[in-house]
Amino acid sequence: QSIAQEVMGLFCMVLLTLTALVANIVVMVVILKTPLLRKFIFVCHLCVVDLLSAIFLMPLGIISSSSCFNKVIYSIAECQALIFLNVCFISASILTISIISVERYYYIVHPMRYEVKMTIRLAVAGVIFIWVKSVLMTVLALVGWPQGNGATSASRCTVYWSPGAHKKAFVIIFSIVCFVLPTIIIFAVYCSVYRVARMASLPQVPVPAQAAAPRHRSDSIASQVTIITTRNLPLPRLTPESFLGSNKAILTLVLIVGQFLCCWLPFFAFHLHSSVAAGTASGGHGEMVVTWIAYSSFAINPFFYGLLNRQIREELARLRRSCFNRPLGQELCLSVSEASVQENFLQFLQRATCTLETHASCISPSPRNRLDQTKVGFPIPGQVPE
């Protein structure tokens, strides 16, 4: 490789590491400093995992991947430590993303059950489950490690150290537990979330009047207007705003699922193919590329799971104004955050499709709404103004 390519590769790796450090620290500080945001326990835990990866794992990955550090030699103990961090942090990050998806599913589809069962004890149990499973995967990766007093070079310090049957078994188990199952969970959960959000945002069409004459005819003007206008009410018209809003909701889900696949599919596919296919040698430039594509997830996660949330963005803006001595609007921003304390992923999708605030622009107004609007324009004598 040329010197320009090496410098560009080293620059990209350092930039990803710095981005992961800054972004995860910012989201963690915002969540921990704001009591209303401490409900995002798993998002904060994901930032902790990604921050630990940026501190310990990614700098070691730079040394192992860049040819500028060819003279660095790892001992067997140091290589085992690197593999321990690699498998442990990758497993913890992916499992946390899966739990965040399941949490969103229960918040949206089963809100009452979520409010009752989602306690601090359950959240702590989920975090413990993540780390226990990650450590077990790491122990499985280190079982059967060849003993010796020699040293191995940094380029050969890989997770898949042996070409034997143990390597194939570990790669298959690691791929199923940390990629295949989480991918199925994420797909199923977000498809259900989108389906529920679309059903909640569909326009409510008034039921047409019966063709047969009613037994008791009402002579009131309001009922006559209602019957006439209901029969002649046109079907809900798909406006450009609702069409674009639906595309925004789809794009949001595609971005979240696509980011996960783009970061982790090359990593697991490469190692699964190199371990199962006969005569395929692992390591080298290809392993370095897919490894850093996977490491980019540590820098992207705080944006997709943290800064996409409106509450976190508002509190970040408030903290930034307070740091620059701009107190104007702090009370307003805080009141907005308090008013939207229950906002989560469903509200984000509903705003993107057809929210209650913009519902009138998506369907034709009903006769009841028209009558209510006329009531506002004609005050009743003696009425006390509200």
196-203 CB contacts, 8 Å cutoff, 24+ apart:
196/108, 196/109, 196/346, 197/108, 197/249, 197/346, 197/349, 197/350, 197/353, 198/246, 198/249, 198/353, 200/346, 200/350, 201/350, 201/353, 201/354, 201/355, 202/354, 203/236, 203/354, 203/359, 203/362, 203/363
* Percent over 90 (pLDDT), the chain: 33
- Rounded Cα distance, 359 and 236, in Å: 11
- Rounded Cα distance, 203 and 18, in Å: 46
Query: What pLDDT score does 236 carry?
Result: 45
Query: What pLDDT score does 311 carry?
Result: 86
In the chain, the domains with their CATH numbers are 7-203+238-309+344-362 (1.20.1070.10)
The answer to whether the beta carbons of residues 265 and 213 sit under 8 Å apart is no
* Percent over 70 (pLDDT), the chain: 64
- Rounded Cα distance, 383 and 108, in Å: 42
Q: How confident is the model at residue 251 (pLDDT cuts 50, 70, 90)?
A: confident
CA angle 71, 76, 82 (to 5 degrees): 80
The answer to whether the beta carbons of residues 46 and 100 sit under 8 Å apart is yes
Indicate yes or no: pTM above 0.85.
Answer: no
Whether the per-residue pLDDT at 282 is higher than 60: the answer is no
Across 15-24, 200-209, 349-358, which has the greatest mean pLDDT? 15-24
Q: Give the model confidence (pLDDT) of 2-49 as tens digits.
A: 788 888 989 999 999 999 999 999 999 999 998 888 889 999 999 999
Q: How confident is the model at residue 384 (pLDDT cuts 50, 70, 90)?
A: very low
Whether the per-residue pLDDT at 348 is higher than 70: the answer is no
What value does the mean pLDDT take over residues 65-71?
Answer: 78
Across 40-44, 191-195, 317-321, which has the greatest mean pLDDT? 40-44
